[in-house]
Amino acid sequence: MANPIYADFHIHTHFSPCGKPQATAEAMLRRAQEKGLAAVGFADHVTPDPIAGCAFYDRQRPCIMADLRAEIAQVADGLDLEILVGMEADYTIAGRACLNPAVVAQADHVVCAASHFHLPAAPQFSGDGPRARAALMLRLAREALEMPGVSIWAHPFHCSRVRPLLPILETVSEAELATLIALANERGVAIEVNGAAARDEGYRLATARFFGLAREMGARFTLTADAHSPECLDRLDLVLEWAYALGLGERDLLTALELKERHKRKATADAPLQRGFPG
Ligand SMILES: [Zn+2]
Ligand SMILES: [Zn+2]
């Protein structure tokens, strides 16, 4: 009994360098259906151009979305699932070059990360203290939210390089969090509740204030297992439990229909303005 709000828009496949070989479209879709999802959004790591010093993105050209669509077409027959093929953009590593109108037009939705500090070529923290880390995370998040075409803010503040997270986020004022959340709302960007991040109790503790404030401010949310293999989709149980603990309900969650409408609006309205895109 698939629940129409029960969707995961951040699913990786073998087309991601971190995706497991067994993360075929067929295996991921099968597991998604077993988990009772009504909609899935694939979001492999994609960036328009190779990134100097970061081999992770060497093969992550936008054409992998077309390759994945072709793979899905072979196996999706008879599946009762809404399927989106989008991408995870990486503002952390590529900055404003992480998206352009042509790439946005190829995607069904764009999940954008601003906290991939573990990858080579990531921006460096200007100092050791927690505030220096917080300041960089806040700036990257703000700039990522301003990027045309972005519909979901991937795993806010989550990275193995910013642990323990609590003392870092304790340097962030409520006003600073509220500014980011207001920007997300204004830009039509949903905030992701991420099951990979949620495995870490430190992350859940550190971000409870942020998610609580976002809920109070009327933000919209997405839930994801951030799966890189079929069995990772089991993290949906954990993330759903955490979302309920945060006080999130069905009305707070973005549906596949809303996501598609948002993306269409962004791909057509944002793109001609070229605002925020590198020349
Ligand atoms: Zn990944
Ligand atoms: Zn990510």
45, 36, 59, 53: which is closest to 13 by C-alpha? 45
Structure tokens at 89: 């953009």
Cα(154) to centroid(ligand 2), Å: 6
Helix (H) or strand (E) run with residue 10 in it: strand 7-11
Domains of the chain: 7-272 (3.20.20.140)
Cα(177) to centroid(ligand 1), Å: 26
- The CA distance from 155 to 162, in Å, is 13
Amino acid at 258: E
Share of the chain above pLDDT 90, in %: 91
| Three-point CA angle 244, 246, 252, nearest 5° | 70
Q: Which SS3 state, helix, strand or coil, does residue 224 take?
A: strand
Cα(15) to centroid(ligand 1), Å: 10
Q: Which ligand is nearest to the CA of 91?
A: 2
pTM of the entire predicted model = 0.95
Q: Which ligand is nearest to the CA of 45?
A: 1
Cα(224) to centroid(ligand 1), Å: 13
Q: What is the pLDDT of residues 159-173, one digit of tens each?
A: 999 999 999 999 999
Cα(54) to centroid(ligand 2), Å: 15
What pLDDT is stored for residue 269 in this prediction?
75
Residues of the chain with pLDDT under 70: 1-5, 270-279
Cα(197) to centroid(ligand 2), Å: 10
Cα(94) to centroid(ligand 2), Å: 13
What pLDDT is stored for residue 126 in this prediction?
85
